[in-house]
Amino acid sequence: MRKHEKATKLGAMATESGTSMLSRSARVEKGFSLVELIMTLVIIGIGVMAVAALFPLATKNVNDGRLLTTALGRAQEKIEQLQQAGYSSSMLTAGSYTDTLGSYVRTWAVQDSVPTVGSKRVFVSVSWPARQGREGVSLATYLAR
């Protein structure tokens, strides 16, 4: 019997019994091992925690933007009110004034003859409570006769 015939007979015998000798030792396993699954979960967990850590910062930035936008609106509102009152209105008498709108404190100052005679400088600032003291914005405009 030749070598080739002998190997064929052995393969046929092994197949008839139900399992091949080669299938046990050279079997290719499909799927993931437990170590691979654990490593994947660790990597995904780190990524999720990194994204979750950004949420408080994003919330703070959105809130700060909302406060700033509201304060600018309050300042602009006062400037427009003073402009509509007219140059000789008692609202534009030289001096400093303050009012409160909720947690916002709005202060405005009117100066006569700045920068030239016949004009007025109006300076409006709005502040609000923040984590470390108060935050604020300021706007200025000039009114002429």
- Which residue ranges make up each domain of the chain? 1-29, 31-144
Q: CA-CA distance, 97 to 108, in Å (whole number)?
A: 5
CATH match of 31-144 with 2.20.25.110 = yes
Q: CA-CA distance, 141 to 124, in Å (whole number)?
A: 9
CA distances (Å), origin 104, targets 15, 66, 75: 87, 13, 10
Q: CA-CA distance, 81 to 45, in Å (whole number)?
A: 55
The residue among 32 and 67 whose pLDDT is bigger is: 67
pTM for the model stands at 0.66
Report the number of secondary-structure helices (H) and strands (E) in the chain. 3, 4
Provide the percentage of residues in the chain whose pLDDT is more than 90.
66
Tell me what percent of the chain is helix, strand and coil, each rounded to the nearest 5: 50, 30, 20
- Going by pLDDT thresholds of 50, 70 and 90, the confidence category of residue 23 is low
Helix ranges, the chain (H)? 3-17, 21-25, 34-85
The CB density around residue 78, as the number of other CB atoms within 10 Å, is 22
The residue among 14 and 136 whose pLDDT is bigger is: 136
| pLDDT at site 27 | 63
